[in-house]
Structures are given as structure tokens and as C-alpha cells.
A and B are shown apart, each in its own frame.
Chain A
Amino acid sequence: MSTAVATTNPSRIELTLRRIPKLFNAALIPMLGITFFLFFWHVVAGNITTSLGKFPGPAQVWEQSVALYEEHKEVRAKADKFYERQRVRNEKKLAKDPNATIKWRSYTGKRSFVDQIFTSIYTVMAGFVLASVIAVPLGIVCGLSDRIYQAVNPIIQVFKPVSPLAWLPLVTMVVSALYVSEDPWFEKSFLNSAITVTLCCLWPTVINTTVGVAGIDRDLVNVGRVIKLPAATNVRRIVLPAAVPMIFTGLRLSLATGWMVLIAAEMLAQNPGLGKFIWDEFQNGSSNSLSRIMVAVITIGIIGFALDRIMLFLQRRVSWDKQAVLR
């Protein structure tokens, strides 16, 4: 009797208990996976000895990530002091002579790990946005017109498999030749990295947008023809919304590619960012280097994952197709 009553009118505790299997699936199983991985990592790392000491295990990596954050705080404090000194100096100058020309210099000391992270994120976003602004309209045009597609497709297919590192010297030379300005908006190194990212980000978005636009349900296209929608309205009201799921598939692939490309470009070109951090640590060759590189590796992974989640979130907001399985 009592159990029957309990099942028809479950208490709060019971409801929580019932949720346990779900919680188990949602949290515990991934946690188990991570724990197993950490253990495996620990065991294997202990058995690999390099010229820079043992391969870092999870503990050393954690130690170094804390150390890197402390260093960041130190660097930040130094920078703050530098700006404070500069401010005081300039004020003194102005007090003596109100017409004196004062100079504001930015801090040029060592960049911290956290600074490098933000440089990389900023660079990849710039390259990615530039690529998207080119790729989505190009993809729409290719999807709408078979002739343009046939004209553009060979070029896409040839450039798509090109490694970013092949582009990099060319981009560097072109940027230094063309981007000459007294008061540049951007640093050249930033432009080199961002444009290299753009060149590699273009293709997945172009290809997926083309496929999405070309694959729009014939009937929907015909509705647009029957009601004689003007071309621009047709793109805005029918083509774009219909292709949004595929466009986002392309954008997500592009951003993932761009992120990988950027790290490689930064390493090769010594442009500021996480790639440079890794290369510097590698050249440095201290006993902590491998752990610090491992911190960067994990950071790169987490940021890549976060970028993809942000795109997914945007896709959910923008796309009508809520049922679509987003992975």
C-alpha cells in the first residue's frame, strides 16, 4: 500500500533519487573517462625520459599552470608599475611646462601566458570573421548559379588542401610590401597570422554553404518563383534560412581549422600567441619546459572546444532546425 502511495505521489527525495541514473550518465561517466585518462597519462609519463627530464605527468602540469598564472600576475604588476611611472613622469613634465610634448609608450616587456592566449583568440577570430565575410556570400553565389560554381570549383579544390605553412612566407612578404603606414592599426605579425588563418578558413565554409544552398528543397525555390520574390528578398527570406544549418557546419569546420592553423603559423613565424609560447619554451629547454608546453597543449584544446561550443550556441540561436543533432 505504502509503496503504491509513494509511487503516485513521490517526495522530493525520491524525485532526486530517480534522477541519479541521468546524473550518472551526464557527469559521472565523463568524469570516469577523465580519471582513467589522467591515470594512464601518469603511468605512461613516468616511463618516458627525455633529455629535459621525465615527460610531465598531470601533477607537474598542474603545478606549471599555477606557476604560469603567478607569472602572469607578476608581469601584469610590472606593466602597471611601468604605466604608473610613465603617468607620474608625464604629469611632472606638464607641471613644469604645459606645452611640453609628452609621449605615451606601451609596455614592451615579456608577454605572459595569459596575454598569449588572448592574442591567439583575437587573431583567430579576426581571421575567421574575415574568412566568413568572404566565404558565405561566395558560397551562396556558387550554390545559386551552377555556372559560377563550375568556374570557381577547380580553384577551391586546388587551394583547399594547401597547408597554412605554405602560405605563410607569401603572406608575410605581401603584407610587408603592401601594408606600409606611419601609424598602423594592426601589427604586421597580427596581420600575417590572421590572413593565413583566413586563407585556410575560407574553404570549409564556401563548400558547405554551396552544398546547402544548392540543396534547398526544389519546392521552396519554386514557391519563391511563383510569388516572384526579388532576388535579394529571395536570398534573405528563403535561401539564407534554408542553408543556415549547412552554413554553420561550414563555419564550425572553418573555425576549428583556423585554430589549428593559427598555432602552427605562430610557431613558424614567431608571431605572438600560443604557438610562439610553445616554441619559446621548446628553445628554452628548462626542466619545466615540457610541463609548460603541456599546459599550452591543454589550453589550446580547451579553447578550441570552447570556440566550437560558442558556434554551436550561435547556431541554436539562429537556426530554425532545432531538431538537428548538433555534435
Chain B
Amino acid sequence: MKSFLELSAMGKVFATDNEPFEALRDVNLKINEGEFISLIGHSGCGKSTVLNIVSGLDTATTGGVILEGKEIDDPGPDRAVVFQNHALMPWLTVYDNVELAVKAVFRKRKSKAETKEWIEHNLALVNMSHALTKYPSEISGGMKQRVGIARALAMQPKVLLMDEPFGALDALTRAQLQDSTMAIHAELNNTVIMITHDVDEAVLLSDRIVMMTNGPSATIGQIVDVNLPRPRNRLALAEDPHFNHCRHLVLDFLYAAHGSDGPDDDDHQGQDAREPADATGTAAAASPSKPAPLAVNHSDQAA
């Protein structure tokens, strides 16, 4: 069966002054339409490179990305990007920032009235209708990121790429934006790839969490399926055994198996180190010291 979006044998080698640096090796992932995927891994493991290659802002050295049967070789609005630092033009108002994208993407396919309505609709989706005429310097960080999301959504992308979208925000704002993102995903059912460092965020938002091994030559180490019903409620989930199990799986992967220099949590000491190639092993086998409260669907890379 053809998948919606496929990363196929993707590799990336950066030319450096000394010897070439292999950042990514043989990254394979199939993503279904409407799926919410989180990419998680330690800093410098190549998550951003993966996202940049999918967006077309960077090119793969080997392999590539196939979206709906077509190989991607340049950036385009069908793969809208939400940047970590919002990337709003400081000289344009909230409305004009979205308008710049809408006008460029839809060119002459929308009438003046339709364009206006579409911009306002997307800003309403992120609860920013009250600040259309404000400049980015006049609104908070969380609001800027909302506008960044509205701009991306307004491109009507096939895939929404989010590069640590909430990383620069405080905890409360981040929670709000996570909830908004879930609501929007429920409404529009977009396909999303999100980079994150936040384990809770990954579990809360994702259908699947793709965990990457440390570089160089990073690749996908393990994938966790999050089979939690939607809509998800962060308060209710705090006590949910499956939620916590998923959390532990991710933490185990990050800190025990692939984070020798990462923080050593008491909970996660003494875990068996797993090789990236072992990613197909079952979750239960991978963390024998943990009671498995629920059966976890641990899928392999080609799920």
C-alpha cells in the first residue's frame, strides 16, 4: 500500500573542513494521512535536519521524501513550516503576515473577499482575531507562535511541519498552545510532524512518537504508538496508566539507552542499553524492569 508521506532511506552528509559529517543514515518512516507524529531525540541528533529535508529547505544526500507518490525536491506551501521562533515579519501586522503567505500561495485563486475571510478564519482558529492590526513586537511570545501556526494553516498544507513550536514558551503558554494544536488537529485532521524535546508534549499530542538515536549517523531508534483516545485531556491523562507507560518508554529511550551523557534519572538506571537496530523489539522486552500496565502496540519503523 502506498503511504501518504514516506521518508525513504534518507541520509544526509554535511561537508565540513575536515572530513564529511554523516548526520543521518537510512531514515525510513511511513506516515498516514491525518497522523500526528512527534520526532524526539537529544540535541544534535538530526531531528531538525529530517524536518528540513521534508520541508525541502534542505536536501537529502541519499534517499528522499515522497509525498503522495511524488518526490520532494524543493520547499513549497504544501509542507508548511511552523518555526521555533515564529519567524513573523516584524514590519507586518498579524493580519499582513498571514496575508503575505495567503496571497503568495493562492495567487489569483481567491477573490479579495475570499482572501480576507480566509485570513480571518485562520487567525480565529488560533484565537488571534483580537489582534489583527498588532505588530509582532506588540504581542506576547505565545501569541506570535499562534500567528505562526495560523500562517502555516492558511497555506492549506498537506503536511504541517512544526520545529519545536513551543520550545521557547513558558509552561502555561505552552500548555494552552498544545491544547489549541490538539483542537485544530481534531478539526482539520492535518498530517503533522512535530519536533519536540518535551516528553509529555510528545505523548499528549502524538499518534506516534518517533525517537531518534544520537548522531553522528543518527537514525530512527524506536517508535512508540500512543493509543490514547481523542480528545485528550491533560489533567485526566496525568493518572492514565497508558499515558505514563508511553512516557516511560520515551524516557527510557532518551536517558537510559541513548543518552549516556544525559541526566540520569533514578527511575531509569540499570536499563539495558539497546542498539538502534533493535528498534523492532517489543517494548516489554526493551524495558524488562518496568511493569507493563497495558499492552503497548510497539510498531516497527514501517508501521
Contact B89 A222 (CB under 8 A): no
Binary contact track A227-244/B, C-beta < 8 Å → 1, others 0: 111000100011001101
Please give the distance in Å from A225's CB to the nearest CB on chain B: 4
Nearest neighbor of A241 in chain B, beta-carbon distance: B91
- CB within 8 Å of A: which of B25-63? 55-57
Contact B90 A226 (CB under 8 A): no
Contact B104 A228 (CB under 8 A): yes
Pick from A225, A233, A238, A323: contact of B89, CB under 8 Å: A238
Nearest neighbor of B85 in chain A, beta-carbon distance: A219
With A219-B83, A222-B83 as contacts: A229 and B104 at CB distance below 8 Å: yes
B75 on the A face (CB < 8 A): yes
In the complex, what distance in Å separates the CA atom of A323 from the CA atom of B137?
10
With A222-B57, A226-B76, A228-B76 as contacts: A237 and B100 at CB distance below 8 Å: yes
Binary contact track B240-253/A, C-beta < 8 Å → 1, others 0: 00000000000000
B124 on the A face (CB < 8 A): no
Number of interface residues of A (CB under 8 A): 19
- CB within 8 Å of A: which of B108-140? 135, 137
A320 on the B face (CB < 8 A): yes
A217 on the B face (CB < 8 A): yes
B80 on the A face (CB < 8 A): yes
Contact B57 A220 (CB under 8 A): no
In the complex, what distance in Å separates the CA atom of A226 from the CA atom of B161?
11
What residues of chain B lie closer than 8 Å to A242, measured between beta carbons?
Answer: 89, 91
What residues of chain B lie closer than 8 Å to A222, measured between beta carbons?
Answer: 57, 75, 81, 83, 87
Contact A226 B57 (CB under 8 A): yes
Main secondary structure of the interface of A (DSSP, over half): helix
- CB within 8 Å of B: which of A172-199? none
Please give the distance in Å from A294's CB to the nearest CB on chain B: 45
A321 on the B face (CB < 8 A): yes
Pick from B77, B85, B135, B137: contact of A226, CB under 8 Å: B77
A45 on the B face (CB < 8 A): no
What residues of chain A lie closer than 8 Å to B87, measured between beta carbons?
Answer: 217, 219-220, 222-223
In the complex, what distance in Å separates the CA atom of A225 from the CA atom of B75?
6
B220 on the A face (CB < 8 A): no
In the complex, what distance in Å separates the CA atom of A227 from the CA atom of B155?
8
Nearest neighbor of B84 in chain A, beta-carbon distance: A219
Pick from B79, B83, B90, B151: contact of A320, CB under 8 Å: B90
Contact B104 A227 (CB under 8 A): yes
Nearest neighbor of A321 in chain B, beta-carbon distance: B90
What residues of chain A lie closer than 8 Å to B77, measured between beta carbons?
Answer: 226-228
Pick from B57, B90, B155: contact of A225, CB under 8 Å: B57
In the complex, what distance in Å separates the CA atom of A225 from the CA atom of B52?
12
What residues of chain B lie closer than 8 Å to A241, measured between beta carbons?
Answer: 89, 91
In the complex, what distance in Å separates the CA atom of A12 from the CA atom of B155?
56
Please give the distance in Å from B154's CB to the nearest CB on chain A: 10
**Most chain A beta-carbon neighbours within 10 Å: one of B80, B91, B135, B155:** B91
Nearest neighbor of A219 in chain B, beta-carbon distance: B87
Please give the distance in Å from B289's CB to the nearest CB on chain A: 43
In the complex, what distance in Å separates the CA atom of A258 from the CA atom of B264?
64
What residues of chain A lie closer than 8 Å to B137, measured between beta carbons?
Answer: 323
Contact B91 A320 (CB under 8 A): yes
B105 on the A face (CB < 8 A): yes
Please give the distance in Å from B95's CB to the nearest CB on chain A: 14
Contact B80 A226 (CB under 8 A): yes
What residues of chain B lie closer than 8 Å to A223, measured between beta carbons?
Answer: 81, 83, 87, 89, 101, 151
In the complex, what distance in Å separates the CA atom of A241 from the CA atom of B100?
13
What residues of chain B lie closer than 8 Å to A233, measured between beta carbons?
Answer: 104
In the complex, what distance in Å separates the CA atom of A237 from the CA atom of B90?
11
- CB within 8 Å of B: which of A11-53? none
Contact A226 B81 (CB under 8 A): yes
With A217-B87, A222-B87, A320-B90 as contacts: A227 and B57 at CB distance below 8 Å: no
In the complex, what distance in Å separates the CA atom of A251 from the CA atom of B55?
38
In the complex, what distance in Å separates the CA atom of A315 from the CA atom of B251?
52
With A233-B104, A323-B137 as contacts: A226 and B79 at CB distance below 8 Å: yes
Please give the distance in Å from A46's CB to the nearest CB on chain B: 55
In the complex, what distance in Å separates the CA atom of A323 from the CA atom of B75?
33
What residues of chain A lie closer than 8 Å to B76, measured between beta carbons?
Answer: 226, 228
In the complex, what distance in Å separates the CA atom of A108 from the CA atom of B140?
65
Nearest neighbor of A222 in chain B, beta-carbon distance: B57
In the complex, what distance in Å separates the CA atom of A219 from the CA atom of B81?
10
Contact B75 A228 (CB under 8 A): yes
What residues of chain B lie closer than 8 Å to A219, measured between beta carbons?
Answer: 83, 85, 87
Please give the distance in Å from B104's CB to the nearest CB on chain A: 4
What residues of chain B lie closer than 8 Å to A321, measured between beta carbons?
Answer: 90-91
What residues of chain A lie closer than 8 Å to B91, measured between beta carbons?
Answer: 241-242, 244, 320-321
- CB within 8 Å of B: which of A284-303? none
What residues of chain B lie closer than 8 Å to A228, measured between beta carbons?
Answer: 75-77, 104-105
In the complex, what distance in Å separates the CA atom of A233 from the CA atom of B79?
21
Known: A222-B57, A227-B104. 19 other contacts (CB 8 A): A220-B89, A222-B75, A223-B81, A223-B89, A223-B101, A223-B151, A225-B56, A225-B57, A225-B75, A226-B55, A226-B79, A226-B80, A228-B77, A228-B105, A237-B100, A238-B89, A241-B89, A242-B91, A321-B90
Shortest beta-carbon contacts, A-B, top 7: A320-B91, A219-B87, A227-B104, A241-B91, A225-B75, A219-B83, A227-B101
* A-B contact list, 13 entries, CB within 8 Å: A219-B87, A222-B81, A223-B151, A226-B55, A226-B75, A226-B79, A226-B80, A226-B81, A227-B100, A227-B155, A237-B100, A241-B89, A323-B137
